[in-house]
Amino acid sequence: MFSIDLGSGAELRPLEPWQAPEFLAHIDRARELVDPWIPWASRSTDLESATATLQRYADLQARDGGRILGIWLDGTLVGGVMFVSFDAAAGVAEAGCWLERAGTGRGLVTAAVGTLLDWAFTERGLHRVEWRCRTDNAPSQAVARRLGMWLEGRLREEYEYRGVRHDTQVWAILAAEWHAGVSGTSALPPESPS
């Protein structure tokens, strides 16, 4: 199994179905913080459903359509990152993340998502990676900004959580921007020249 050092005792590594007991214990610790933002958090409530969540990502990875990796801090699973979707033929993916309180404030998500973006753009040749979050998810918006993403728009009432519809922000970064270190802002990117 591979492991990528994120610094300060943290590492990024695959999160697989056989790790469901550890994943479930982590989600139980993280549920209050994660549940409003990550749809599968409220569905991963026992060993069977936690295994199913990880199996879904294993199946996506086998089809080259997504993947999930965990963030371990001093040997304890504290969060993770994922490609919610991954379409190499179209050159587009959507990245996401989650983190329990024990891992917050350390830059772990920014480092881990940066690793995903670098792999997607450099190794896989993707053109665009998107980041979607609710408009009231300030920590997720901060990650997008730190990664140099552009806020491209808002999908009105796109996300349903506990019977309430919420708006979703769409952030993105292009391969050329990532490689050039061009940072986005909270505004739309400039028009492309014709």
Q: Is residue 191 part of a domain?
A: no
In this structure, are residues 37 and 97 in contact, taking their beta carbons and an 8 Å threshold? Answer: no
Q: Answer whether residue 191 shows pLDDT above 80.
A: no
Q: Is residue 192 part of a domain?
A: no
Q: pTM above the 0.95 mark?
A: no
131: which strand partners? 95, 171
Query: In degrees, to the nearest 5, what angle opens at C-alpha 50 toward C-alphas 46 and 56?
Result: 150
Q: Is residue 59 part of a domain?
A: yes
Domain with residue 176: its CATH number is: 3.40.630.30
Q: Is residue 38 part of a domain?
A: yes
Give the model confidence (pLDDT) of 39-91 as tens digits. 888 889 999 999 999 999 999 999 999 999 999 999 999 999 999 999 999 99
Q: Which of 176, 109, 118, 188 is closest to 150 using CA atoms?
A: 188
Q: Is residue 194 part of a domain?
A: no
**Averaged over 12-20, what is the pLDDT?**
97
**Averaged over 15-34, what is the pLDDT?**
96
| Amino acid identity, position 110 | T
pLDDT of residue 36: 86
Separation CA 27–CA 35 (nearest Å): 9
Q: Is residue 143 part of a domain?
A: yes
Q: Answer whether residue 184 shows pLDDT above 80.
A: no
pLDDT above 90 covers a percentage of the chain that reads: 83
| Structural domains of the chain, count | 1
Q: Answer whether residue 15 shows pLDDT above 60.
A: yes
193 pLDDT band (50/70/90 cuts)? very low
Mean pLDDT of the chain: 92
Percentages helix, strand, coil for the chain, rounded to the nearest 5? 35, 35, 30
Residue range(s) defining the domain that contains residue 170: 4-180
Q: Is residue 169 part of a domain?
A: yes
Q: Answer whether residue 35 shows pLDDT above 90.
A: no
